[in-house]
Amino acid sequence: MKKVVIIGGGIAGLATAYHLLEGARKRGCAGLEVTLIEKGGRVGGNIRTERIGGFLIEGGPDCFLSEKPWAMQLCKRLGLAPRLLPTSRPRGKTFVFSGSRLHLLPEGVILMVPTRMLPLLTSSLISLPGKIRMALEVFVPRRDPSKGDESLGDFVRRRLGREALDKIAEPLVAGVHAGDPETMSIRSSFPRFVELEERYGSLIRGMLARMRAMKAGGGGKAPGVTMFMTLKGGLGELIEAILEKIKDVSIRTNTRVVSIREKGRGYTLLMDDGSSMEADSVVVATPAYVAAEILDGVDRRLSERLLTIPYTSTATVSLGYKKKDIAHPLDGFGFVVPGIEKRRIMAATWSSVKWEGRAPEDSVLIRCFVGGARNEDLVFLDDSGMTEMVRQELRDIMGIEAEPVLVRIFRWRKAMPQYTIGHAERVKEIEGMASSHPGLYLTGSAYHGIGISDTAREAEETAGRVLSYLYGDKAVASSGS
């Protein structure tokens, strides 16, 4: 019997457990015992779906990107293909709050790259000098790759100008990570932009070339056009489907792993209730700072290096209103707020417009995002203060005076890893240290991607490495099945 213990019951740990069982079955690896340990009272991590009074509320992430295929693939393997739900429109409008009003993000701007000049030229968001500077991106020389990593802020200013950074890239791109563009690693956070520059010498030329190639190949939407997908009953369905498939996994909640000790060719795990457990292999699927605490007894240098990955806190505030009380047309998916505006929310999604089935017919659901690198302290307001603050922001930005019929607040303390400059080298060093302890693996959003798709991909790769370690040539030889 081979014993594997997974520490952490978020999507990283659950997906690893699923792929371990599926991989063992497909590869003919018999005698696998998997235990998953979660310190909280529930599994699912940041994925949390609630249904209240006809509203469907997502506490954490509400979707994933279809252009990163791994979350879609996982859903299909779990039998959730009929439950997949695209946005209500293929490309809904996004607004940017600037200068005391909402401006439409110019059509053809993909993440931060303008691919159509006329909508950019007629946009009220960017000044004429800012538009000219963005258009001149095609003449900006490529950066020498040997110079190493670069911040997102430096990258965008260099290629597209200051105004493009402040009004488009920072709220749209940095907002994905809730990060500070002046410290975010462009290579680790958005490697596609670096690839476009290195290959085509220009983001605009590169994006247009990829769009033409996709169109010529009959592939539908162009690379970089972010198509959001979710599940009809919310992302909680993904957690429920995984749990249904991993009934053979022993799941222990309300249990915290205090420390791990190496023992021969395996490991001994000590719990906060005084119990212990033996394992041939351990997968640590927790935030990096939690992994650092757990692994301090295994490798002090590894623990210290894990602590160099910073985290920030965020909150989501979902508010339900009666439709008749909202004068705003809600003619899009929502808006983002640049940091230079000095507002107290980062963005708002008009959830009941973006997704079907999120509110009763006579109601609307709006979800606001608070905190991140620039306003982390706001996450720790009490419920009354948080509600009043968000209502004031919606009053100023959207003119909403009405009392909400529902308010639901979720706080995510130190839940968002920050891929700061040098992140790739940092992770390479961490993984090198971990590899000196056979059977010990790290997985999750701290390392190679923060989204559900990247986490699902890494979980599958981690499960494959565990099986190869435990079963050797047999697992490797069957890995293509």
Average pLDDT on 147-171 reads 96
Residue 241 lies in a domain: yes
Residue 323 and residue 300 in one domain: no
Does residue 41 register a pLDDT over 90?
Answer: yes
The predicted structure's pLDDT at residue 92: 79
User: Which of 223, 257, 283 corresponds to the end of one domain?
Assistant: 223
Percent of the chain with pLDDT over 70: 96
Residue 330 and residue 426 in one domain: no
Residue 64 lies in a domain: no
- Helix H or strand E encompassing 330: none
Residue 156 and residue 14 in one domain: no
The sign of the dihedral angle between the CA atoms of 351, 354, 360, 364 is positive
Q: What angle do CA 230, 232, 234 make, to 5 degrees?
A: 65
From residue 98, alpha-carbon distances to 58, 231, 299, 341, 395 in Å are 27, 33, 49, 7, 15
Q: pLDDT tens digits, residue range 54-69?
A: 999 999 999 998 888 9
The predicted structure's pLDDT at residue 217: 64
Residue 197 and residue 187 in one domain: yes
Q: How far apart are CA 402 and CA 328, in angstroms?
A: 12
Does residue 476 register a pLDDT over 70?
Answer: no
The predicted structure's pLDDT at residue 225: 42
Residue 274 and residue 298 in one domain: yes
Residue 454 and residue 413 in one domain: no
Residue 291 and residue 429 in one domain: yes
Residue 276 lies in a domain: yes
Residue 211 and residue 121 in one domain: yes
Average pLDDT on 440-458 reads 96
Q: pLDDT tens digits, residue range 317-357?
A: 999 999 999 999 999 999 999 999 999 999 999 999 999 99
Average pLDDT across the chain, whole number: 94
Residue 58 lies in a domain: no
Backbone phi, psi, residue 33, to 5° = -115, 120
Which of 123, 121, 202 lies closest to 160, judged by CA?
202
Does residue 302 register a pLDDT over 50?
Answer: yes
User: Which of 186, 202, 223 corresponds to the end of one domain?
Assistant: 223
Q: How far apart are CA 475 and CA 449, in angstroms?
A: 26
DSSP class of residue 299 equals -
Q: pLDDT tens digits, residue range 207-263?
A: 999 888 877 765 544 444 447 899 999 999 999 999 999 999 999 999 999 999 999
Average pLDDT on 184-209 reads 95
Which of 192, 106, 413 lies closest to 287, judged by CA?
413
Please state, as a whole number, how many other Cβ atoms lie within 10 Å of the Cβ of residue 220.
10
Q: Categorize the per-residue pLDDT at 475 as very low, low, confident or very high, splitting at 50, 70 and 90.
A: low
The predicted structure's pLDDT at residue 276: 97
Residue 80 lies in a domain: no
How many domains would you assign to the chain? 3
Average pLDDT on 172-200 reads 93
Query: Which tokens sit at 368?
Result: 């606001």
Residue 276 and residue 265 in one domain: yes
Note whether 268 and 278 are within 8 A (CB).
yes
Residue 345 lies in a domain: yes
Residue 316 and residue 304 in one domain: no
Does residue 184 register a pLDDT over 80?
Answer: yes
The predicted structure's pLDDT at residue 474: 61
Residue 392 and residue 258 in one domain: no
Which of 66, 105, 110 lies closest to 86, judged by CA?
66
Please state, as a whole number, how many other Cβ atoms lie within 10 Å of the Cβ of residue 135.
16
CATH number at residue 305: 3.50.50.60
Q: How far apart are CA 375 and CA 312, in angstroms?
A: 10
Which of 227, 230, 245 lies closest to 83, judged by CA?
230
Please state, as a whole number, how many other Cβ atoms lie within 10 Å of the Cβ of residue 106.
23
Residue 427 and residue 407 in one domain: no
CATH number at residue 172: 1.10.3110.10
Q: pLDDT tens digits, residue range 418-435?
A: 999 999 999 999 999 999
Does residue 397 register a pLDDT over 50?
Answer: yes
User: Which of 170, 189, 223 corresponds to the end of one domain?
Assistant: 223
Beta strands in 352-439 (DSSP E): 363-371, 406-417
Residue 57 lies in a domain: no
Residue 360 lies in a domain: yes
SS3 395: helix
Q: How far apart are CA 19 and CA 12, in angstroms?
A: 11
Average pLDDT on 163-181 reads 92
Note whether 169 and 157 are within 8 A (CB).
no
CATH number at residue 357: 3.90.660.20
Domain that holds residue 169: 107-223
Q: pLDDT tens digits, residue range 62-107?
A: 999 888 899 999 999 999 999 999 998 767 799 999 999 999 999 9
